[in-house]
Amino acid sequence: MKKVLIVLSPALFFSCSLSLSGSPGTEPDTVMQVPVKFQDGIPAADQGEGYIADIFVFNDDRLQRLDSYQRIACGPGEMPSAASQTGKKIIAAIVNPQSGSYSWEQISSFQALGSMVAELKKESGQKMLMSGYGHAEAGKDAMCEIDVSPLASEVLLRSVRCDFSGKPYRGTALKEVRAYLTNVNAEAKLLQQEGFVPETICNQGRLRKEDVMEFTDQSLIVRKIANEIGTDTVYPGISFMCYPNECMEETAGSPFTRLVIEGMISGQTCYYPVNINRTGPAGGGISRNCRYVFDITIKSTGSSDPDVAVSPEDIDISCMIAPWDEKDGTEIIF
């Protein structure tokens, strides 16, 4: 997880590009240095390329009105600064924002920021949107530490092989293989941490070209596997990204998100849809800022429908679940 340290200090100078706005008729009188510390474990290239951060400061009272807003553009190693009035504050950080700079009219309160949504189609695997917030008293506290994490989660197809022993088609390889996500939650609120239920879905029930074409980075939800898949294990290392889906029961309006492997066996198209984290002790669906790592062994011709999950007779699945910032996780065998 990345941490943003908001350090309260006297105004000195700004080393980065700073765009400042706030409530009408107010002038900031406290400067906050904002060192953004990048840690291992999150797939982003910010450390070597710089980054953009939106820093929102709200009054920590009943109305939670916007005190100030700054869009900060910093190169590698530069320390940004933000500004606000004194007093108790809620400080929110949006790293790698998807929209142009905001105005006071767009986000006038902390509740307004919380209602803003991010769109998966605007995400980049190299610079993912991250968010978080914390509390401080400007003019008194030395610093405010904010935990900033990706809104999205990762679905990693680490390895795949075929084992058709005992079948009439034993020794056959799966050809023209591709992998993709279906029933993907396409939007999520910027500051939401849990309770994600999809309202807008892409690739509903199948791979939909019209949905994929809207993505800035199409590799986030669909990838081809160059090699045929036979008895030898293939390590494609395909990493997909999606917004959380924690719906408790599958319905037509809230289907489970699935990882689908598609290929040809003897000229027949075969599908291997896998519900992501819907069995085992941790089966609550896709949570924010988690990794779902799959090792798959295909044992049959699978399903003729990309929206019907395969059974244990069709496929063996080993899935490891862990936050991005943790090396160890829970391994679940299906």
- 8 Å CB contact between 291 and 322: yes
Final residue of a domain: which of 150, 165, 186? Answer: 150
Q: Which residues of the chain have pLDDT under 70?
A: 1-49, 77-82, 141-143, 281-282, 323-334
Same domain, 146 and 157: no
Q: Residue 250 is part of which domain span?
A: 153-333
Is residue 99 helix, strand or coil?
coil
> Residue 261 maps to which CATH number?
2.60.40.3690
Q: How many CA atoms lie within 13 A of 16 on its CB side?
A: 26
> Residue 32 maps to which CATH number?
2.60.40
- 8 Å CB contact between 149 and 226: no
- Rounded CA-CA distance 84/80 in Å is 14
Percentage helix, strand, coil for the chain under 3-state DSSP, each rounded to 5: 5, 45, 50
Sheet holding 238-242, edge to edge: 238-242, 153-162, 290-298, 315-323, 330-333
pTM: predicted TM-score of the whole model, two decimal places: 0.85
Residue 169: both structure tokens together: 């088609």
Nearest to 118 by CA among 200, 58, 38: 200
Kindly report, residue by residue over 176-187, the tens digit of the pLDDT. 999 999 999 999
Final residue of a domain: which of 111, 129, 150? Answer: 150
Kindly report, residue by residue over 25-43, the tens digit of the pLDDT. 455 566 655 555 444 444 3
Share of the chain above pLDDT 90, in %: 52
- Burial of residue 192 (CB within 10 Å: 0-12, 13-18, 19+) is middle
